[in-house]
């Protein structure tokens, strides 16, 4: 089933912050102070800004690899010299602690600096945290997978294996629509600081996973260092929307996935990566709904990114809300279309003079009725293309603005 933000009231919101210093929040309200806000939130699990809460912890549990014959009953075993764990009888049982030790050398903590705009578009710098997976290396570089939203807007990036020592990383390329990015760290620096402590992860065939398979999620939860949580696969081929209204196919799991876990590994009981943790559904009354991008999707895109190098991605640079007939009436808006709730400073939209409160009704003469149609229109274009954007502003008649699409590249 495809969940639609407009129909179900889901809202993509920034994840829980980790820095202790508070910062002004970018304005996202509709004019007149009325905001379109939803009860349920799909959190992209990168941690940024200030404050924090809740962190997933796992105890040692004995679990069996997919395909292993096990008894239906779980028994609790206690030992004074070992942690309490849940045991599954059957061949090939493994402790979560053993799985963690296998995978931890392939998972890094990521720290970024991001310049954002607050009230009245003033600029300030904030910190963010996420996770990454080492997936390959050559003579000069160690390549690390992460989510695009982890490093989106970053001005600098560092990675750490021991959560103590950090190495600077550089942007290689990414696919925003798939929420996948690749960064690299100098191999000489990785060897110098983490010699013998890192290796490339092993990726499993995600097409073979099944509902009920045991999994472990590993990442830099809340930016407090690597930790592990335990669960099962709840659903496969689950479609969710990203922050930019892109539909991506994911694996659903009940393993706790918290802010900062984005880009981290979801692994099977052999310690092989079956997905990259990316989001969670969060609301009162909702528990255990985390999402990971399947390893088959990730591996294919990551390899193409490394082969192609830095990519060119056209972008408009706005946050929008679809204006239906109902919302037009509720907020006394002049027309249906796509309401601009925020314009990113320095973006294509800002350079063209688009403003918060404008309603986009068409691009190049083609009617734009939803945020999804707007995003699709931009994605089909190329960097440097000039789009004729029809808008209504301040209740006046429609006017046309020419927008030259810039490249949404990262320079760290």
Record the tokens describing residue 65, joined without a space: 């690899």
Say which of 206, 262, 282, 348 is annotated catalytic.
262
Record the tokens describing residue 309, joined without a space: 């190098």
pLDDT at 121: 56
pLDDT at 94: 61
Q: What is the pLDDT along the chain (412 residues), one digit of tens a residue?
A: 333 333 333 333 233 344 433 333 323 222 233 333 333 345 555 554 433 222 222 223 333 334 333 332 322 333 334 433 344 433 334 688 899 998 999 999 999 998 776 665 566 788 999 999 999 999 999 999 999 999 988 889 999 999 999 999 999 988 887 899 999 999 999 999 998 789 999 999 999 999 999 999 999 999 999 999 999 999 999 988 766 667 789 999 999 998 999 999 999 999 999 999 998 887 777 788 999 999 999 998 998 888 876 667 788 989 899 998 888 888 888 888 999 988 888 889 999 999 999 999 999 999 999 999 998 999 889 889 999 999 999 877 789 999 999 887 676 7
Bridge partners, residue 292, by sequence: 251, 277
Task: Tell me how crowded residue 69 is: count the other CB atoms within 10 A of its CB.
Answer: 9
Q: Is 262 tagged catalytic?
A: yes
pLDDT at 398: 81
Q: Is 245 tagged catalytic?
A: no
Say which of 58, 109, 149, 377 is annotated catalytic.
149
Equal CATH topology for 1-310 and 314-407? no
Cα distance between residue 174 and residue 181, in whole Å: 4
Find, among 71, 129, 97, 164, the residue nearest to 263 by Cα: 129
Say which of 179, 244, 254, 358 is annotated catalytic.
179
Record the tokens describing residue 119, joined without a space: 């009230």
Cα distance between residue 90 and residue 38, in whole Å: 46
What letter would DSSP give residue 11?
Answer: E
The pTM assigned to this predicted structure is: 0.65
For the chain, helix, strand, coil in percent to 5 are 20, 45, 40
Cα distance between residue 29 and residue 223, in whole Å: 29
**Hey, where are the domains in the chain?**
1-310, 314-407
User: Residues 264-290, buried b or exposed e (16+ Cβ, 10 A)?
Assistant: bbbbbbebbbbbbbbbbbbbeeeeebb
Fold of 314-407: Pdz3 Domain (2.30.42)
CATH architecture of the domain covering 1-310: Beta Barrel (2.40)
């Amino acid at each position: 089933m495809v969940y639609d933000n407009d129909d179900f009231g889901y809202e993509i919101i920034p994840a829980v912050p980790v820095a202790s210093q508070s910062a002004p929040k970018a304005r996202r309200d509709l004019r007149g102070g009325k905001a379109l806000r939803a009860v349920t939130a799909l959190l992209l699990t990168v941690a940024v800004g200030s404050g924090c809460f809740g962190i997933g912890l796992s105890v040692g549990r004995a679990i069996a690899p997919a395909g292993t014959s096990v008894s239906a009953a779980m028994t609790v075993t206690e030992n004074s010299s070992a942690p309490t764990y849940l045991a599954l009888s059957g061949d090939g049982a493994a402790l979560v602690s053993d799985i963690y030790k296998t995978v931890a050398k392939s998972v890094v903590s990521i720290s970024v600096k991001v310049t954002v705009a607050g009230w009245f578009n003033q600029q300030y710098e904030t910190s963010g945290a996420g996770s990454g997976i080492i997936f390959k290396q050559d003579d000069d570089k160690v390549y690390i997978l992460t989510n695009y939203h982890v490093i989106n807007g970053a001005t600098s990036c560092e990675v750490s294996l021991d959560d103590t020592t950090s190495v600077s990383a550089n942007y290689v390329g990414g696919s925003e629509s798939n929420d996948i990015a690749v960064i690299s760290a100098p191999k000489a620096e990785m060897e110098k600081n983490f010699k013998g402590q890192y290796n490339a992860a092993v990726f499993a065939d995600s097409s073979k996973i099944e509902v009920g398979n045991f999994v472990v999620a590993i990442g830099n939860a809340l930016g407090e260092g690597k930790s592990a949580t335990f669960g099962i696969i709840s659903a496969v081929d689950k479609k969710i929307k990203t922050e930019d209204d892109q539909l991506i196919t994911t694996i659903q799991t009940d393993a706790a996935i918290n802010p900062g876990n984005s880009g981290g590994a979801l692994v099977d009981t052999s310690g092989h990566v079956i997905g990259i943790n990316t989001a969670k559904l969060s609301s009162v009354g909702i528990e255990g709904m985390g999402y990971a991008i399947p390893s088959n999707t990730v591996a294919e895109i990551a390899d193409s990114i490394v082969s192609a190098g830095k990519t060119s991605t056209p972008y408009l640079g706005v946050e929008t809300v679809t204006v239906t007939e109902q919302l037009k009436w509720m907020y006394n808006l002049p027309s249906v279309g796509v309401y601009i709730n925020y314009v990113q400073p320095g973006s294509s939209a800002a350079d063209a003079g688009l403003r918060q409160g404008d309603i986009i009704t068409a691009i190049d003469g083609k009617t734009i009725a939803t945020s999804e149609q707007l995003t699709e229109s931009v994605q089909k274009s190329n960097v440097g293309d000039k789009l004729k954007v029809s808008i209504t502003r301040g209740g006046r008649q429609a006017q046309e603005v020419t927008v030259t699409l810039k490249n949404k590249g990262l320079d760290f």
